[in-house]
Amino acid sequence: MDMGESIIVSENGCNRDQVMTNDLMDLSSVRVLLCVTDVESCQEVLALLKKCCYQVTPVYSAADALDVLNSHGHCIDIILTEASLLIPNGAKIFNFIKPDINLKQIPVIMMLDEDEIRLVLKGLMLGATDYLVKPLS
């Protein structure tokens, strides 16, 4: 398949049978640690990520995130976290991630309710890779 061609996907939006080229990655193999504080927000983001065929592990606190990273960190490809969870606990999370050669390679993406530069800068200074502004679509 050439780049730019349409891909027909199944009803749920996932086409696991698609043959991947060297330039593309099988999204169903991407494992996301989703760190959120409220169930409603979690359901929205979870539905979006699952539609893209990502494997998602949701957690609802920084302590739970650290537990998952401690036990299954080697299996996580991306950490997607609400800024409200990351900023107050960022030192704990990044102090846990930074010394570990494997964990420090995991990109940490913050989700913010609005594009507030102060929170963005603080998260990036702590070690976040990038940020997204909700609502995600």
Question: Domain map of the chain by residue range?
Answer: 31-133
3: pLDDT strictly greater than 60: no
For the stretch 61-101, pLDDT in tens is: 888 999 999 999 889 999 999 887 777 766 788 888 888 99
Q: Is the dihedral of CA 118, 120, 123, 126 positive or negative?
A: negative
The CATH superfamily assigned to 31-133 is: Response regulator (3.40.50.2300)
Q: What percent of the chain has pLDDT over 70?
A: 77
User: What's the pLDDT at 11?
Assistant: 38
Q: Which residues pair with 31 in a beta bridge?
A: 55
What does the buried/exposed string (b/e) look like for 21-40 if buried means 16 or more CB atoms within 10 Å of the residue's CB? Answer: eeeeeebeebebbbbbeeee
Q: What is the pTM of this model?
A: 0.76
